[in-house]
Amino acid sequence: MLFFSRRKALADQLAQAAVPQPGRSPWADARTRFMRNRAAVVSLAVLLLIALACVVGPALLPYQFDSADWDAMKLPPTWTNMHWWGTDESGRDLLVRCLVGGRISLMVGLLATVASVALGIAWGATAGFLGGKVDSIMMRIVDMMYAIPYLLIAILLVTILGREFYLVVLAITAFSWMDMARVVRGQTLSLRTMEFVEAARSIGVPTRRIIFSHIVPNLLGVVVIYTTVTVPGVILTESVLSFLGLGIQEPMTSWGVLIEDGTRVMEVAPWMLLFPAALLSITLYCFNFIGDGLRDALDPKER
């Protein structure tokens, strides 16, 4: 009896093992691989902490980003009077200005990236799927825009339209979508010959629906990876424009504006350059590490 009971228990275990287990989705596998990348996970945590500080921090501090204290001009970092990161040449608290500047830089980076990614996907997917003369004309337009220095486009747009926040986003978007268009176009050229696209064509699915319902969803991995590369590039571009006096203007601030202010007084007030430059550098490094982690996690060779 003991023999038969053990045999029955073993048979039950084999039967349970033979039952097919529900497979994990590719996105679940990618999330698992991403979480194993310590550098990417730590960078994501640091980036979220910086973003949270930029959003919530100014409301928790006792100073306004544009309020001047003429009795505390160029005050070095101190713990005695709540000016933890010192003040600038007008007596404004540098910590509050760095947090507000980070809020503006991150908003410009995210908004311009979303706009450029959307435009690049639409342009590249359309050119790659239609092919032929349409593809040739659309990509020649991209090549001509590449030949124009982006700073020249930004200077012209800012000079003609003004230096408001949304105009800065528009100026950056005008020349930041072309890389995404090329990447998406190359991926679309390989996807348009796949069986599911041919099947959709054979049953009369409209071209627009094939592009946005069948081609674009299969580009999400590449788009996500490239987006993490675009965001730091856009933030850096905004910082360069603000450094040159073509971006965000006083009394509003950004990391580029603060770095430009710090370079003028770096010999007598080095903290005015150190803190905003450190925040900008840490943010760019975090985006780069996150992009590397996503690239490894979404790599089909790792599945």
pLDDT value of position 8? 45
**By residue range, what is the domain housing residue 188?**
32-59+92-302
- Within a domain: 76: no
- How many Å separate Cα 61 from the centre of its chain? 28
- Within a domain: 22: no
Tokens linked to 265: 């007084």
Please tell me the total count of domains within the chain.
Answer: 1
Q: For residue 251, is the peptide bond before it cis, meaning its omega torsion is within 30 degrees of 0?
A: yes
The identity of residue 56, as a single letter, is: V
- Within a domain: 79: no
- Within a domain: 245: yes
pLDDT value of position 26? 62
- Within a domain: 2: no
Tokens linked to 64: 């306004």
- The owner of tokens 């965000």 is 248
- Give the dihedral of Cα atoms 190, 195, 201, 202; nearest 10 deg: 150
- Within a domain: 18: no
Question: Over the chain (303 residues), what is each successive 10-residue block's mean pLDDT?
Answer: 44 40 60 83 93 89 78 76 80 88 88 89 87 87 83 74 77 83 86 79 79 78 80 82 75 83 84 89 89 75 50
Which CATH number do you get for residue 158?
1.10.3720.10
pLDDT value of position 2? 40
- Within a domain: 277: yes
Count CB-CB contacts under 10 A for residue 284. Answer: 16
- Within a domain: 106: yes
pLDDT value of position 53? 92
